[in-house]
Amino acid sequence: MRRRTIRRILGGLVGLAALAAGAGVLAGDGPSEAELAKVGLKRSGPLLVLEAESEVHTKADEVRHLSRQLAHDVARQQMTLSPEQYQATLKGLNDELNQYKNELNATRNALNRIPKRRGYPVNYQLHQELTAYRNELQAEVTQRTSYLNQLKGQKYDPKARLQADADVRTRREERHQAVQELRKLVDGLHEKYAAVAKEPRVQKWLDTPEGSAGIKPKLGPSHAIRLDIKMLEQFERAEAAGDSANGPARSTRKGRRSKTAKHAAPAGDSASPF
């Protein structure tokens, strides 16, 4: 009787050891940074994203910068037309400024709603992305407030029309070129994501739980890149409609996929995360 009891206890211990060993296999530390780098990936919170995203984001920031400069030049150009059109420009800038302020307040509220644990946000990646977006909106608000103050402080001067036209023409060409370059980078990023998603080792990483929580990582793109793509699509729609002066005045977070951008996703490519 005693021997059977001992055997049952030993059997139970062996079973627990097997379960523990199995859990160790299923939930590990995941691939190292060196292993990820071999296929062009890196970690971004719970995501595995391509290192090539940084080039896309840099170009997207350039497009944003050129767009703000173009908006400034267009405002100066419109000021040289007539007193009535000058007033209409002031009203348009005020409307756009209010839209940015509303989106800024909404982003701040979203940041405040992210729960925290021991003083740190639970969803660190979302907190970082919303913080970056808040800073971007704040820059827009500051820039457009500066435009308004500058316009209100200037006198109506029709003689400045020729220079204003030349400035707008130059800035529009620069922004158009940057938009085209960004489209090429986005298309290239799409192809790279589609290719890396088919890598057997990447598929294995994505199917393996990590850490004590046993959560499987996900393949990018990051939320920031998705915002860059939405902004790009809005500029493409504006240019296709012949309204290339200011591009999107509203938040880039609310854009919808444009017909121009659809060529970035080849038909039947289910491996792409876009």
The predicted model scores a pTM of: 0.61
Does an H or E element contain 50, and which?
A: strand 47-50
Answer whether 56's CB lies under 8 Å from 228's CB: yes
Q: Is 50 inside a domain boundary? A: no
| Assigned domain for 164 exists | yes
pLDDT at 128: 86
What does the pLDDT read at residue 222?
Answer: 93
Specify the pLDDT at position 18: 44
Query: Does residue 136 lie within any of the structural domains?
Result: yes
Tokens standing for residue 62: 């350039």
Q: In this structure, are residues 60 and 228 in contact, taking their beta carbons and an 8 Å threshold? A: yes
- Tell me which residue has tokens 């290239």: 188
**What number of other Cβ atoms are within 10 A of residue 200's Cβ?**
7
pLDDT at residue 261, as a whole number: 40
User: Could you give the C-alpha distances from 237 to 165, 196, 203, 255, 273, in angstroms and in order?
Assistant: 23, 30, 35, 10, 23
Q: Does residue 260 sit within a domain?
A: yes
- 69 in helix, strand or coil? helix
Cα separation of 211 and 135, whole Å?
32
Distance of CA 166 to the CA centre of its chain: 32
Q: Is residue 72 a part of any domain in this protein?
A: yes
- Contact criterion met (CB below 8 Å) for 42 and 32: no
Roughly what angle, to the nearest 10 degrees, separates helices 124-153 and 223-240?
A: 40
With H, G, I as helix, E, B as strand and everything else as coil, classify residue 120.
Answer: strand
pLDDT tens digits, one per residue of 123-143 = 888 888 889 889 988 988 998
Q: Give Cα 230 to chain centroid, integer Å.
A: 8
Of 266, 271, 126, 258, nearest in space to 200 by CA: 271
Residues 6+ apart with CB under 8 A from 244: 172, 175, 176, 238
Residue 270 forms part of a structural domain = no
Residue 68 and residue 143 in contact, taking contact as beta carbons nearer than 8 Å: yes
State the residue range of the domain holding 115.
Answer: 58-189+224-264
- State the total domains in the chain: 1
Confirm whether 96 is domain-assigned. Answer: yes
What confidence score (pLDDT) does residue 69 get?
92
269 falls within a domain: no
Q: Which residues of the chain have pLDDT under 70?
A: 1-28, 79, 81-82, 154-159, 243-274
Q: What is the dihedral of CA 269, 272, 273, 274, to 10 degrees?
A: -80
Query: Six-digit token pair at 23?
Result: 């859990």
Tokens of 179: 């938009």
